[in-house]
Structures are given as C-alpha cells and as structure tokens.
Amino acid sequence: MIRFFFFSTIFGDPCGNSREVIEVSPFPEGFLWGLATASYQIEGSWREDGRGNSIWDDYSHYWGKENINVNGEQRCNVDKCHTGDIACDSYKQWNRDLALLKNTNVKTYRFSLSWSRLLPYGTEDLGVNQYGVEYYNKMINDLLENDIVPFVTIYHWDLPSEVQNIIAPGGWVNSSISDIFADYAEFCFRAFGDRVKNWITLNEPGIFVDQGYHEGIMAPGMKGHMLDARFNTILAHVKAYRRYDSKYRATQKGQVGITLFSMWNEPETNQENQLAALKMELDLGWWAEPIFGSGDFAPGLKKMIADAGKNLPTFTDEQIALNKGASDFFGLNHYTTRIIRACNSCEFELEEVECDSWPTTGSVWLRPVPWGFEKLLEFIHKRWDTDKYPLYVTENGASSKDDGLQDLNDQFRVDYYKTYVSAMKRAMINGVNVKGYMAWSLMDNFEWARGYTERFGVHWVDFNGKIKILTN
C-alpha cells in the first residue's frame, strides 16, 4: 500500500501559494501505478530492420533554404538540430528498459507502437515488417512475465511519411485518414490483442493537430488546419473503437480508450467564469463531449466557433450515434494550469496568463500548480462521469533544462509528483474514479521540437554518445 501526504490549496486567490497538509490515506488495491514513454521519443534505430520513415524523421532532418539565417547558419525545425535517430536506443536496449521498470516496481508500462516500424509503407497491404512485430512481441511478453501490465498507445504522433505524403496526402487533414488509421489499429489488435488488454487509440489529438497541422511548430509543420484535422481525429478514434467492438472485444476482452491533453483553465475573476468554461470546451470538450457526452459538439462550442467566423465541421446523425460512448475509459494527460482573462483584441476574446508566484520548470509552458489538477479531475467527473468512464492519468510530470551537467538532484521533481499525486488523491476522495497514474517519463528522451534540451525522465540519460542511464 502506498501512502502519501497530501496538500490542499486554499482556493480563492489562484496565485496564492498557501497549502495545508491534511490527512494520509491509502490508494485502492489494484491502483495501476506506471511510467510512460512513446516510440519516436525513445526507440532510435530509425533506419534499422526495415523501419519506414515517419513525419518526425522528416521534420527533424529537414532544413530547407528558408531555414538558413543571415549568418548562413542552419536553423533546424528542432532545437540544436536534434533528431530521434538514436534517442534512448530503446529498440536495441529493451532489456535495459525492462530492468529499469522492474527496479521501480511499477504495475504498468505505457509505451507506443511505431506505425512505420510495423507497417513501413503505412498499410498492411504494402507489407508488414516482422522485425517490428517481434520487437513489440518481446516487450509485451517480457512485461507480462514480470507482472507489468502493457498499456499500449497505437498512435503517439509518428505518422508514416508514406501516409502523410502519398496514401493520404496531408495526413490528418485528409478525410481518408480515419479509415487508414482504423485499419492500422485493427492490425495492432490482431497482432497483439491476445495479450494487450489496454489500448489507447490516439495520444493528445489536440496537441498533434494544433501544433503540427495548424501552427506548424511540430511535425509535419503544416499551417491553418485546426478544425478539419481535429474533426478527422474524432472519426479515426471512433472507427478504431468500433472495429474493436465488432471484431475483437468478444474474444480479446480488453478496453480501448483515448488520451486527451488538458490544462486546467482557472477564471481570473468571477467575470471570466464563462470564458474559462469555453476554453475548457475548446481544449478538452472538443473530443470529450462527442465521445463521453452527447455524441456531438456542445452547443457552447458551436456558438463560440461560429462567433469567431469559422466553420465547424458537422457530424451526421449516424456519426453522432457512433461517437457516443466510443471509449471504455478516459485517458488524461495533465501537466499545468492557466489563468483565463478577458481580452477584446484576442481570438475568442480571451487570453491565457500565468501567475509569477508559480514555480518554473525546464519547459516555459509548464508551471507546477497542483490544485489545478484536482479541479480538472473534479470537473471531468462532474461533466462526463468517471464512474461510467474510469479515468487513467496517462501522463503527468515535470522537466528540467539540460545544462550539460549530470544532474541527479531531483528534489523539484519529487515535490512535483508528491503534490500532484496528493491533489489526485484528494479528487479521488471527493468521488473521482481514478484507476491508474502513469508518470511521464521512464527516462529523459526526445522532447519533440525541444530535442534533448528538456528532461522529463525519472531516470537521467547521458545522450553524449553512450546512452548511459543513471539513477539516484
């Protein structure tokens, strides 16, 4: 039984730091404590054993003429021109990863499948890479032998280049992507579903769409496609879920869910209550309401998008019926909180701010605010019912900046986890049905456009050639 102290914030002033230590209480038996990673961030071996390219290989390797600055220096898409070519070398060093997992005593390991390692050209018809199948088979079998539950993400952002460029040009913008994704998901159910009982279809569709297809700051670097690409992610998830329902659930008896990213949006004053609620709708409700709620976008979201002069795609009645209830659990990735303030000149008439008093981390966007986690969990429960859809925290964690030194002093991270886990426990006491918690991440890894400059691991990695992992 794990025991934690937990803290509560005295609500009122969102920038206040007051905390009180309250009681100690145990977690339920069977609570799934775990660690999480994703294929592109750790595997490396990008050209080995028949793996196909993904949009992240292309994005991290690409520097076009427009990316040369006035001094003739390369400006890469990723900080310091880092790539995932080697990353944590996990493709070759699974035994090391397994040893780390055993050593931390976790009950579950959340990892993702590399689509282009399994299907180098994106679809099963164009060829299956047996080396990839064997790699994941070994991981799954070893985990089960060691009583560690595999929690498998089918898609964590590494779309095969062949899909992005040839099969469904434009990738997530192309309406055929939902069927192509469902076929890939079905391949995964068929290949691994006899042993994998916990599936996550998509990791954070909001982040990979908005940053990769709208703002152009992550792979594949496209711009201006928020609404259509977001819409396709819902259809893709629902089709994969329904495929499991109709063909695999009866024999494999697993659960399939989706992982959504959400900050907590706290109104700056009571006047901003409605704006903060709308922001939650845009960030989280976009997916959660169709899947865990009515099957359709919420009326408030429809109005918000129309008021902003944009065209929200519409679901057919048949799609609404299929969307509704298309998940067995609610996967949540949560890291931080924002204060919502009214702003007439801003998009959607709101702006996000942070309190100066909040601590900082190695990522500019991430400020530890544990009470925000508690409020978010309670909000999700009230709105979408975690008794009906049990909640798994599939990521939570904090970063340090890489300063070139071996830094094993993790007190700030220990504090982050203590206070966030305490906040979660408090929400559980208040009725939120949380079944598991997976910390991000097992080890420092390729932090997307930030490369290796930000470290999220509970194990420190020496990336300078040797890929040594150090623990304190």
Q: Which residues are catalytic?
A: 395
CA 180/CA 154 separation, integer angstroms: 13
φ, ψ for residue 261 (rounded to 5)? -95, 135
CA 342 to chain centroid:
28
Determine, following the binding rule CB under 6 A, whether residue 336 of this chain makes contact with ligand GAL.
no
- Minimum CB–partner distance for residue 322 and ligand GAL (Å): 26
Task: Specify the residue, 178 or 361, whose C-beta has the smaller distance to ligand GAL.
Answer: 361
Helix (H) and strand (E) counts in the chain: 16, 17
Determine, following the binding rule CB under 6 A, whether residue 57 of this chain makes contact with ligand GAL.
no
Q: For ligand GAL, which stretch binds (CB under 6 A), given 143-151, 337-345, 414-422, 440-448?
A: 440-448
Task: Specify the residue, 83 or 333, whose C-beta has the smaller distance to ligand GAL.
Answer: 333
Determine, following the binding rule CB under 6 A, whether residue 203 of this chain makes contact with ligand GAL.
yes
Per CB under 6 A, the list member of 120, 447, 460, 467 interacting with ligand GAL is: 447
Task: Specify the residue, 203 or 337, whose C-beta has the smaller distance to ligand GAL.
Answer: 203
- Minimum CB–partner distance for residue 368 and ligand GAL (Å): 14
Q: For residue 319, what are its two tokens?
A: 């799609």
What part of residues 371-410 is at the interface with ligand GAL (CB under 6 A)?
395
CA 446/CA 85 separation, integer angstroms: 10
Q: Give the binding-site size for ligand GAL (rule: CB under 6 A).
A: 12
Task: Specify the residue, 166 or 364, whose C-beta has the smaller distance to ligand GAL.
Answer: 364
Q: Give the x/- contact pattern for ligand GAL in 238-267, rule: CB under 6 A.
A: -----------------------x------
CB environment 99-138: b (16+ within 10 A), e (fewer): ebbeebebbbbbbbbbbbbbbbbbbeeeebbeebbebbee
DSSP conformation letters of 224-256: S-HHHHHHHHHHHHHHHHHHHHHHTHHHH--EE
Q: Using DSSP bridges, classify how beta strands 454-455 and 468-470 pair: parallel, antiparallel or unpaired.
A: unpaired
Query: CA quadruple 369, 373, 378, 383: dihedral positive or negative?
Result: positive
Q: Give Cβ neighbours of residue 23 (< 8 Å, ≥ 6 apart).
A: 6
Determine, following the binding rule CB under 6 A, whether residue 227 of this chain makes contact with ligand GAL.
no
CB environment 211-245: b (16+ within 10 A), e (fewer): bbbbeeebbbbbeebbbbbbbbbbbbbbbbbebbe
Per CB under 6 A, the list member of 15, 81, 133, 207 interacting with ligand GAL is: 207
Determine, following the binding rule CB under 6 A, whether residue 158 of this chain makes contact with ligand GAL.
no
Per CB under 6 A, the list member of 172, 379, 448, 460 interacting with ligand GAL is: 448
Per CB under 6 A, the list member of 204, 210, 272, 374 interacting with ligand GAL is: 204
CA 180/CA 345 separation, integer angstroms: 40
Per CB under 6 A, the list member of 32, 35, 38, 275 interacting with ligand GAL is: 38
Task: Specify the residue, 268 or 454, whose C-beta has the smaller distance to ligand GAL.
Answer: 454
Q: How many residues does the chain have?
A: 472
Contacting residues toward ligand GAL, per CB under 6 A: 38, 41, 203-204, 207, 261, 333, 395, 440, 447-448, 456
